[in-house]
Structure 1
Amino acid sequence: MHPFLSASLILSTADLGIDAGEFRLSSRDIADGGTLPQAQVFNGFGCDGDNVSPQLSWSGAPAGTRSFAITVYDPDAPTGSGWWHWTVVNLPSNTTSLPTGAGSPGGLLPEGAVQGRTDYGQSGFGGAAPPPGDKPHRYQFTVWALKVDSLPLDENASGAMVGFMLNANVLAKATLTATYGR
């Protein structure tokens, strides 16, 4: 991983001089530390999941938050650079949740929200699909509180580009992690 991104990923809000309080992420569909259900498993790559983005809710964003972003990342993918399963940016600052299926085709995202390209090669949510026999992979669902109203990204933005822009504009982030193996 690039040293700038690695250092940025461990930067806390306290390091930035920001009082983020209790910025939290939760879900009715997935449990932090639990196993992903079939609903959040990819339909392809040898998997027969439903490929539906989970419901997500967040609270306690720091003062000055002007927009939010969501990422889903698998750091255990055997690629040398992990795997981006979902990126959505430009969620308005008054957004505090996304319903189940918001990142799926026909899903309900707030106006102006943009889903970037996953490592499956398309925009929108792409569920878990670790190689058979691999140890269970971690899937990190992260909400990012940002200091800008929007990021200049479109549906062709790669996970790396989205990650770079998020790290350059983050006020706080909250993550829940679930696992999946086959």
Structure 2
Amino acid sequence: MNNPFARIPEVQEFSLKSTDITNERSLPSIHLSGIFGVPGGEDVSPELSWEGAPEGTKSFAVTVYDADAPTGSGFWHWAVVNIPANVTHLPRNAGTPDGANLPNGAYQLPNDARAARFIGAAPPAGHGAHRYYFVVHALDVEDIGVGAEATPAFLGFNMFGHTLGRAVIVAHAEVKE
């Protein structure tokens, strides 16, 4: 699969950094999935910080997507919505089930495992390297208007006409047989 953003409008890019993950590098084991039994996995979301969002940004959403999952539709690992525009940082482990480390007003949607939390990378053993897209979306609305039970795919549909900018880190994970 190519870039998952290839079929949606191009938008302004801005900067996404992390003290935990690096673009085009392997994910550290704490960001792999313990829930799905990946050795060393702890399901800890990485620290993320961003800057340079487009003028007119009223909120942010964060998504994590495995473009190479053998599902025909990829696999959504995390989605956070309604992050206020004055917030430009999520601490490590912001994706806990209780969401206690998220900014006021922000909340997590259920991922493809139907858990409203961060689930770490879990490529099937022997399937090869998977690409994990960690994305901050700058939006032109304060509230994207999706309910707490919405899917990340539905979020993407709702963001389609509201995305002003996008910041991306693509990290990799592979589980050997």
Q: 2:28 corresponds to which residue? A: 37
Q: 1:23 corresponds to which residue? A: 14
Structure 1 residues without counterparts, runs of 5 or longer: 14-19
Q: 1:94 corresponds to which residue? A: 86
Given the alignment, which residue of 155, 158, 164 partners 2:151? 158
Q: Distance in 2 between matches of 1:111 and 1:154?
A: 16
Higher helix share: 1
TM-score between the two structures when normalised by the length of structure 1: 0.88
| Alignment deviations for residues 37-66 of structure 1 (CA, whole Å, 9 cap, x no partner) | 111101132314110010000000010000
Instruction: Map 1:74-93 onto structure 2 (within 5 A).
Output: 74-93=66-85
Q: Distance in 1 between matches of 2:163 and 2:44?
A: 27
What is the count of residue pairs matched by the alignment? Answer: 170
Q: Distance in 2 between matches of 1:92 and 1:62?
A: 14
TM-aligned CA deviation for residue 30 of structure 1: 0.3
CA RMSD of aligned residues (A): 1.6
Structure 2 residues without counterparts, runs of 5 or longer: none
TM-score between the two structures when normalised by the length of structure 2: 0.91
Whether the aligned pair in 1 keeps the contact of 2:97 and 2:116 (CA below 8 Å) is no
TM-aligned CA deviation for residue 112 of structure 1: 0.8
Q: 1:17 corresponds to which residue? A: none
Given the alignment, which residue of 71, 74, 77 partners 2:63? 71
TM-aligned CA deviation for residue 142 of structure 1: 0.4
% identity of equivalent residues: 46
Whether the aligned pair in 2 keeps the contact of 1:115 and 1:154 (CA below 8 Å) is no
Instruction: Map 1:117-136 onto structure 2 (within 5 A).
Output: 117-136=110-129
TM-aligned CA deviation for residue 155 of structure 1: 2.7
Q: Distance in 2 between matches of 1:45 and 1:164?
A: 28
TM-aligned CA deviation for residue 6 of structure 1: 5.3
Q: Distance in 2 between matches of 1:59 and 1:149?
A: 18
Q: 1:140 corresponds to which residue? A: 133
